[in-house]
Amino acid sequence: MKTGIQATRRLRRATAVTLTTGAVLATGALTAVPAQAVSAPSIVAKGGYAMNNANGSTLFTKKADTRLSTGSTTKIMTAKVVLAQPKLNLDAKVTIQKAYSDYVVKNNASQAHLIVGDKVTVRQLLYGLMLPSGCDAAYALADKFGSGSTRDARVKNFIGKMNSAAKSLGLKNTHFDSFDGIGKGSNYSTPRDLTKIASSAMKNSVFRTIVKTKSYRAKTITKTGSVRTMGTWTNTNTLLGSYKGAIGVKTGSGPQAKYCLVFAATRGSKTVIGTVLASSSVNQRATDATKILNYGFARLG
């Protein structure tokens, strides 16, 4: 009888140990691979950065504070400065000058194909700036919103506003010498700084609407007062069509800049925003950004 009782006790202890071990194993299986343990991706771009847009915490970094040429990602700041103007009237009309057209031809620059003499609204110019990356639209905006008695003075003043905006964001590694990224040797930023500029710009609802738009067709007013329907402006940011939840932001390229992309995507309540600078091709910058976005969301869980 005694032996039977001891056997029963031994069986109970063994069962308890088995159950406890099973519980530990089950719990371990749930926590063995925390989100933070996901391996950081390898990217081709010279520099990269991404952060949680909600609180600014870093999610990915590669030479994030190295100064690099920015190409047309510069236009994020151009748009930000325009949208920050007091009493901004987005429906105000700007007459397209020959100087804007001559400028893009001379520099073989990306353009919105604005037509000299047409009256174009500020809102339309912002779409022409951000979707097809129009340097003619950038010039028109700088001329409109800079102060001065000559076009050169107004443009210089507008670029000064861009640099003031960078300083107000506390950025130490950013400087603009152009309104569109066609710099004169001292137009630079870093992956971290550009991400912060974009995050700040994305607080503006007009900016958010524009940069997530895949295509846009402007109706301008010609010299004779008739309506001209412009050719379709297509967003150069291919992530808008290829990455789930993509909401912006801006491409850039150039001989020095190589291929750049400032990107953002939202999944549920989480937004990852970041930058790749000096990637090797249009496709590669998108691949680099996709890798970083996937990693960012994996870390956020």
Radius of gyration of the chain (CA): 26
Tokens at 124, concatenated: 């339309």
Long-range Cβ contacts of 243-248 (<8 Å, 24+ apart): 243/289, 243/290, 243/293, 246/212, 247/202, 247/208, 247/211, 247/212, 247/271, 248/198, 248/202, 248/208, 248/211, 248/212
Those residues whose C-beta lies under 8 Å from the C-beta of residue 146, and which sit 6 or more positions away, are 153, 154, 155, 156, 157, 158, 159, 161
Of 62, 69, 72, 80, the active-site residue reads 72
Question: Can you tell me the distance from the alpha carbon of 43 to that of 191, in angstroms, rounded to the nearest whole number?
Answer: 13
133 is catalytic: yes
- Cα torsion angle, 278, 178, 206, 132, sign: negative
Q: Which of 69, 110, 133, 200 is catalytic?
A: 133
75, 80, 250, 258: which is the annotated catalytic residue? 75
Reading the block at residue 119, the tokens are 């009256």
Strand partners, 260: 252
**What's the DSSP call for residue 234?**
E
Is residue 196 among the annotated active site residues? no
Helix (H, G, I), strand (E, B) or coil at 251: strand
| Active site amino acids | 72, 75, 133
